[in-house]
Structure 1
């Protein structure tokens, strides 16, 4: 695979492995920690490859941005949730990374919609919902564990969760409409 072929979609491997970590947490703790660590390694590797690709090749940045861009933010929130039983500090670092990436991903998604000039349904839009729900779940977990005590966090998390639910309903109606046409 060449450097040009590395996209945000490759983060899905990290998502799958990190989800295994969460699933194994109550059964085999050591294996859960190993899977979470592999998820972190994949996150940094794919992110470095994407950044190198953006900086060294003459690719259109808007062309790189798609629904899978949200996976970049969602994977950091998922890693934060998966690693939280093992290291609160690492969990907070990845949560802050997700919090930092959230407005950036929203902004680049809006720029993509403006540059395309045609707003229409595409199945890749579904990848926007899961990262928002994971970020909300992770934020609720951080609030519950009292790692950060800020009243506004609950409001932010609830707003993102409400956004994810609204988009779910919207995309579901688009899907039903496109199937029945």
Structure 2
């Protein structure tokens, strides 16, 4: 793998820890972390950047590179476009996506759809936390998290991707910074 991408869209610690374990186990690929831009879209959001640095420090993940992203709906899709543009500049051809387990199906679906069209191979390492496929039904929060992720997966699979990728193909949106929703600043 040419790179590791820590899916930080939900700002969860466990993907940072898993990325650190992968590095410690000998995977020497650079680590990238998408991080939200401030509302002016000129600098990183101070709180988001601080959270990323704290989680990376605790993991410990001393070496990583932040990918600044503008959060626009649909967030996962637009983040994938921005990550694609960044990775193309870095000449990355294969990516290991480290993502929270319940979010993994949606993330891999979106990132493979967007990055695959740009020639980037995407593999996934789902990270299990306290709530897992075996125990999600044992608490109200587990049920809430499970239902939320299933609904988001269906939204992306049946609504966002079929229409957006079709529009993407028609508009030639493989041009850096262009999405079916317009040009990203």
TM over 0.5: no
Larger Rg: 1
Normalising by structure 2, we get a TM-score of 0.31
Indicate the structure with greater strand content: 2
